Amino acid sequence: MEDDNKAAEAESGNRYVGVIYFHGMGSQRRYEEVSRLIESVDGYLAAKKAAGESRGFLGDIKPRLEPSRVTAGKNATYIGADYVDGSGAKPVKVRFHEVYWAPIMAGQRSALGVFKWILKRAVRPFGTLRAPWRERQRLRRATLAEMFEREAPEDPVRVEDYDKLARLYDSFEGLQAIRDYPEGHFDQFVDFVEKSRARDPERAGRMVTLAKDWFSRYRQTELRNAFVVGTMALGIAVVAVAAIWAATFVIGLLGRLAAGTSLAGFLPENTLMGALSVALAGASAVGLKSFLTDYMGDVEAWATYEETDEKHELRAKVIARGIDTLTHVLTDPSCKRAVVVAHSLGTTIAHDCLLVLARNNRASHSDESKAPAVPLLKIEHFVTMGSPIDKIEYFFESYTSSFHRYRRVVENLRGDIDTMPFCKNRNHPHVHWINFWDDADIIGGPLHSPAGRHGFTQRVDNVHVASLGFPNPGASHSAYFFDNAVVENLFEVICKRAYSFPTLPPRVGKGRDFASQFVGPAIDAPGKRLIWQGMALTVPWFGALGLLGYWIAPAASYWWAAPAGVPLAVLFAGFLVNKRQPQRRPISPSVGSDDTDASEMATT
C-alpha cells in the first residue's frame, strides 16, 4: 500500500475527472457497486477492440489512498484509471469515488413495520385527486413537464405557452392570488390565467386550452396510479394471507403427524394441487419478506422527511456521508471536472446531497463575488439509472399546508433543477441530468417532479431503454450496467466530456441549443411490453378471487383460482423463452484487462 500512496502523491499534480458514484438499495458491499461501474466501461471498451472498432482502453486500474480533505486524520479511497484513446494524446485520468451508505441503514427495519408503512401510502392517489389545484405543486408541475417532453413542441409560441403557464401556476401561489382565489380550485386557476393575459386574448385562449389539457392529463394519471397502487397493495395482501394459510396448514399437518392422527379429511381432495399451493405461498412469503426488509426498508428510512421521526436521523447521516465525499472530490484543485453517477435509491440521495450543498454554499457565501465553499460548478453531468425520485416525491415527500408562507419558504429553500448547481442564474442550464429508465423497472421511471417553477429550458433528459427482452422487474432494475447503449453513453460522458452544456457555443441572437445535447427521449420505444405487464397486473386480482372462493366454497376453491393460472403460465413461458438471451444489447466482459492494458499503455 506504500507504493499506492506514492503513486497517489505523484498523481496529485495531474488534472483528473472525478466520478462520484452513489449505490442503490439493498445489502451492498463496499467498492462492489463502483467496481461494477468500472467493469462495465472497461468491458465496453474491450468489446469494441475485439470487434475491430477500438475506442481506446482503461489502464492502471488500481485502488489508491489519499488524506481526507474533510476530516483530519482520516483517509479517502478511490479507484484510479487512465483512459488512453490510442491517438498518442495524454491519457485522461479518472478517479472513481463511492458514497457507501449501506451500513447506516443496516438492521433498521422489520417486514411488518415496512408492510404497514406501505399500506398507509396506498390511499395517496385519492388524496391528491381531492386536493385543491394549488396544493402539491411539484406533482402538478410534473404532469405539465411530462406533457412538454412527450409533445416536444417545436413551435416557439407553443414552448412559450408552457413556460408562461408554469410561471403563472407559481404566481397562483402568490399572496394576492390567494386573497382573490382562497379555495385554489382549478376553475379559479383558469380564471386567474384568463385575467393575467387579458391584453392578449388569443394567447389567453391557447393557455386556457393547455391548462385544461393539463388538468385532464393529471386526473388520468392519478386514476392510473390508483389502479396500479391498489393492485400492488392487493398483491402484497394476497401473499400475506396465503402465507398465513400455508403456515397454519403446515403446523396442523405436522401436529397430526406427531400425534399419529389420521390425515383423512385434512388434506385437500387434490393433494398435488394443495402441495403446490402451500409451496407457492411459502416461497412468495419468503420473497416478500426479503423485498420488504432488504429493499423497501431502505426506502422507508430514507423517505422519512419529518424531523420528529427517529428514522430521520438515519437520513441525515446518509446525506452527511454523501456531502463529505462530494466535498472531498470537488475541493481538490486537481479535479478539473466531475460526473455524479447514481443507481436506484442512490439517485434520490445524490439529488438531495447536491441540493443541500447548494444551500450550504448560499449560507456560507451569500456574497456572490466570493468563491463558493464547494465548487459545485465542476459537476457537468448527473447520470441516474432506475431512479425512484418521482415515486418518492409522490408517496412521501409531497406535502400540504394551509399556510401560504410555509409553502413559499419550503419551495425557496429546497431548490430544484432551475437552481444551483443544475442551473446558473435560473435560465442558464449547467448540469446535464441524464436519466435512464426502463418501463419494466417498477422502481425506476422517467423524472418530471424536479421540474422548475419557471419553465422547462432546464429539464431532465429522460432516456428510455428496454435492456431485457422479457420485462423482469428485478433484473431490469440492474440491467442498465450491462446494456451496451447505456454504458456507451456513460463512457462518452466520463471520458469524452460528451453531451456537456458548458461546452456549447453561443448562437447569434439566441441562447445555447441545450436540447441538441439530449440523449433522449428513447433508445428503445416504450410501451412495447405492455401486454406482459397487463398480465402481471391481473394476477393479484385472480389470487384474491381464489382466496374468496376458498372461504365461500372450499371444495371448489381451485376453480376460483384457476383463472390466475393462465397469465401465470404465459408469464412463466415468456420468462423461459427470453432467458436464453436476457440482455438485448450485452456487453462482452473484458478478459485480463488490467495486465493487458498496463503493458499496452507502456508500449503506447
Which residues have a Cβ under 8 Å from the Cβ of 199 and sit 6 or more positions away? none
User: Rounded to 5, what percent of the chain is helix, strand, coil?
Assistant: 55, 10, 30
Cell numbers 405487464 label which residue? Answer: 533
> What is the model's pLDDT at position 533?
78
Give yes or no for residue 7 having a pLDDT over 50.
Answer: no
Give yes or no for residue 4 having a pLDDT over 50.
Answer: no
Phi, psi of 498 (to 5 degrees): -75, 160
In tens, the pLDDT along 463-517 reads 999 998 888 877 888 999 999 999 999 999 999 999 999 999 887 777 788 989 9
Grid coordinates standing for 502? 458548458
In tens, the pLDDT along 26-48 reads 778 999 999 999 999 999 999 99
- Whether 377 and 421 have beta carbons less than 8 Å apart is answered as yes
- Give the global pTM: 0.85
Which of 392, 395, 381, 393 lies closest to 436 in space, CA to CA? 381
In this prediction, residues 281-301 reach a mean pLDDT of 53
Percentage with pLDDT > 70 across the chain: 75
> What is the model's pLDDT at position 398?
63
In this prediction, residues 540-548 reach a mean pLDDT of 77
Phi, psi of 155 (to 5 degrees): -70, 120
Which of 599, 442, 403, 520 lies closest to 146 in space, CA to CA? 520
Q: Cα angle at 48 between 44 and 54, to 5 degrees?
A: 125
Torsion over CA: 200, 206, 212, 215 (sign): negative
Question: How confident is residue 300, by pLDDT bands cut at 50, 70 and 90?
Answer: low
Q: Which of the two residues, 330 and 108, has the higher pLDDT score?
A: 330
- Whether 389 and 447 have beta carbons less than 8 Å apart is answered as yes
Q: Which of the two residues, 257 and 513, has the higher pLDDT score?
A: 513
Cis peptide before 521 (omega within 30 of 0): yes
DSSP string, 368-384: TTSPPSS-GGGEEEEEE
In tens, the pLDDT along 102-161 reads 888 776 555 555 666 666 666 777 778 888 898 888 889 999 999 998 876 666 667 888
Mean pLDDT of the chain: 81
- Whether 470 and 578 have beta carbons less than 8 Å apart is answered as yes
Q: Which of the two residues, 441 and 95, has the higher pLDDT score?
A: 95
Q: Which of the two residues, 173 and 44, has the higher pLDDT score?
A: 44
> What is the model's pLDDT at position 581?
64
Whole-angstrom Cα Rg for the chain: 27
C-alpha distances out from residue 47 to 39, 87, 139, 487, 598, Å: 12, 19, 42, 12, 17
> What is the model's pLDDT at position 145?
93
Grid coordinates standing for 427? 435560465
Query: What SS3 class is residue 253?
Result: helix
